[in-house]
Amino acid sequence: MNDRLAVFFDPCIFDHDTGRGFFEAKASPYMPVIETHPENSERLRNMYGVLKDGPIAEVLDWHAGETAARSDLERFHLSAYIDELAAIPVSESRAFSSTTVFGPGSYAICCKAAGLVMSAASHVCVGKGRIAYALTRPPGHHAQPDMADGYCFFNNIGVAIEKLRARGMQTAAVIDWDVHHGNGTQEGFYEDPDILTISLHMNHGAWGKTHPQTGAVDEAGSGAGLGKNLNIPMPYGSGDSAYVRVFDEIVAPVVRRHQPEMLFIAAGQDANQFDPNGRQLLSMNGFYELGKRARALADACCDGKLVLVQEGGYAISYAAYCLHATLEGVMNRSASLPDPLAYMQEYTDGIDDFINHIRTSYEMALTTGG
């Protein structure tokens, strides 16, 4: 089989309008320049551009993908919640929180966003290719079964996993290296022994009623799912070496024990060193190394079946470069784009103590029942 990457994309995702203001707040009366919301179409336009015209364009196959039907969404989300979103008039915008804006016509776009991930997962599941990437927005990993959160409305990965399970897949693993805790994916599968969810994120804790989960290590799953959720709250300022060591020494062994049939990556780039929404220090090379490791882990555990899904990444230009680096790592290609920005000092002090803390805390959560 040729080592190519299937990319699932539809330009309608550019039409999801999150508005403008003072970053995520209302516009300031003192400032003449009104910013776009961080989760805007420009970030995805640059990602599209670096893939369509950049060095790996020759190994990419582009696909339009399907649109998620109501029945697809209901496998992960509650009907009443879907009704709430579907009832918003097409011409109206609604803020579910100060950060989470549902723009005019966003319901159809959100269905398409989930459908792109479903199509990428199906492409890999049926053997059309071993690797697929969904270039999609709005992101999904904060969306819980009954609640929008953190720019997210439908949990794109959760919807895709449930569709594959309806077709016979039994086990999967999700590694989420977006800089924020993947609380929606955790919530949807928290008691499920067949779906392993792992989140590496900056240690931001809970952030209100839409994100009550803390992202701490002791949130390890419950009931039959005890041990199937692993949270790794990374210290602020963690950079390339910290993320790579945590992947090698904590994440990979847990995934290998689970033996999933397919590996999903919630591939946000907002842990990059210049992201306005993160406080970590990953460079292009850090994402390249994470991509290589994701590929190697999929090869070892699930016959190379790997699906990457776009989540965060809000440094409009640098996030696109980090995406390109990630996919070159996934494709086992030499890095071809030089890092255009100077590298800042990464966190290295105390990483041994941190890794030992995560291990012991996770083991303690398993023995005490989460």
Instruction: Render pLDDT for 207-264 as a digit per residue (tens, 0 to 9).
Output: 999 999 999 999 999 999 999 999 999 999 999 999 999 999 999 999 999 999 999 9
Catalytic residue among 37, 141, 142, 211: 142
Task: Name the amino acid, one letter, at 202.
Answer: M
Are 183 and 177 in contact, with CB atoms under 8 Å apart? no
User: Average pLDDT in the 6-29 region?
Assistant: 95
pTM, two decimal places: 0.96
107: tokens are 């319901």
3-state secondary structure of 362: helix
- Given a cut of 70, is residue 342 above it in pLDDT? no
- At 347 the pLDDT is 63
- Given a cut of 70, is residue 344 above it in pLDDT? no
Alpha-carbon distance of 160 to 165, in angstroms, equals 9
361: tokens are 């805390």
Containing 8, the helix (H) or strand (E) segment is strand 5-8
What secondary structure does DSSP assign to 240-286, as a single string?
A: HHHHHHHIIIIIHHHHHHH--SSEEEEE--TTBTT-TT---BB-HHH
Alpha-carbon distance of 156 to 238, in angstroms, equals 27
User: Mind listing the pLDDT tens digit for each residue in 267-281?
Assistant: 999 999 999 999 999
**Count of domains for the chain:** 1
The residue among 151, 130, 133, 131 whose CA lies nearest residue 142 is 151
Alpha-carbon distance of 175 to 193, in angstroms, equals 16
- Asked whether the CA dihedral 117, 152, 193, 326 is positive or negative, the reply is positive
The residue among 249, 75, 79 whose CA lies nearest residue 162 is 75
How far CA 121 is from CA of 3, 31, 161, 162, in Å, comes to 17, 44, 8, 11
Largest Cα–Cα distance in the chain?
Answer: 58
Judged by average pLDDT, the poorest of 98-102, 111-115, 261-265 is: 98-102
Are 123 and 47 in contact, with CB atoms under 8 Å apart? no
CB-facing half-sphere around the CA of 187: CA atoms within 13 A = 24
Range of the domain at 329: 5-368
- At 1 the pLDDT is 41
Q: Which residue has the higher pLDDT, 199 or 23?
A: 199
Are 5 and 62 in contact, with CB atoms under 8 Å apart? no
Task: Name the amino acid, one letter, at 134.
Answer: A
Other Cβ atoms within 10 Å of 3 Cβ, number: 14
User: Mind listing the pLDDT tens digit for each residue in 186-208?
Assistant: 999 999 999 999 999 999 999 99
- Given a cut of 80, is residue 370 above it in pLDDT? no
SS3 content of the chain, % helix, strand, coil (to 5): 40, 15, 45
302 — phi, psi (to 5°)? -145, 40
- We report the CATH number of the domain holding residue 192 as 3.40.800.20
- At 331 the pLDDT is 97
Average pLDDT taken over every residue of the chain: 96
Query: Is 288 exposed, middle or buried, given 0-12, 13-18 or 19+ CB atoms closer than 10 A?
Result: buried
Strands 60-63 and 94-95: unpaired
Query: Is 127 exposed, middle or buried, given 0-12, 13-18 or 19+ CB atoms closer than 10 A?
Result: exposed
142 is catalytic: yes
User: Average pLDDT in the 122-143 region?
Assistant: 98
- Asked whether the CA dihedral 56, 57, 58, 62 is positive or negative, the reply is positive
User: Mind listing the pLDDT tens digit for each residue in 145-180?
Assistant: 999 999 999 999 999 999 999 999 999 999 999 999
- At 25 the pLDDT is 87
337 — phi, psi (to 5°)? -100, 120
The residue among 252, 261, 246 whose CA lies nearest residue 357 is 246
Which residue matches tokens 């255009």?
Answer: 340
Sheet with 60-63: list strands edge to edge.
60-63, 5-8, 131-134, 306-310, 263-267, 172-176, 195-202, 229-234
Which residue matches tokens 């291990």?
Answer: 359
- Given a cut of 70, is residue 32 above it in pLDDT? yes
